[in-house]
């Protein structure tokens, strides 16, 4: 998924953290909800401004960021 049109970074919003479509909901918020066991349907029900594609964009963003991390020698 191409997340670039869904994940926005604005210096004055949420401390410059990556947000979803300019909303005040961060990628980290969504990832924490998923990690705590919430389903995609529960997140969308709690945050009606979000869509299933927004949640997948958060996962794609996190995967891309992980891929870009430098590997440290052991």
For the stretch 42-66, pLDDT in tens is 999 999 999 999 999 999 999 999 8
Considering the four listed CATH numbers 3.40.30.10, 1.10.10.10, 1.10.510.10, 3.40.50.720, the one that applies to the domain covering 7-66 is 1.10.10.10
Using only C-alpha atoms, what is the Rg of the chain?
13
pTM of the model: 0.87
3-state SS assignment for residue 73: coil
Token duo for residue 14: 């949420």
Percent with pLDDT over 70 in the chain: 93
pLDDT for residue 24 = 95
Exposed, middle or buried: residue 21 (CB in 10 Å: 0-12, 13-18, 19+)? Answer: middle
Is pLDDT above 70 for 73?
no
pLDDT for residue 1 = 80
């Amino acid at each position: 998924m191409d997340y670039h049109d869904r994940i926005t970074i604005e210096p004055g919003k949420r401390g410059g953290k990556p947000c979803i479509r300019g909303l005040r909901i961060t990628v980290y918020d969504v990832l924490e909800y998923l990690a705590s066991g919430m389903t995609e349907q529960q997140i969308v029900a709690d945050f009606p401004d979000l869509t299933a594609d927004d949640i997948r964009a958060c996962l794609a963003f996190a995967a891309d960021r992980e891929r870009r991390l430098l590997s440290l020698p052991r």
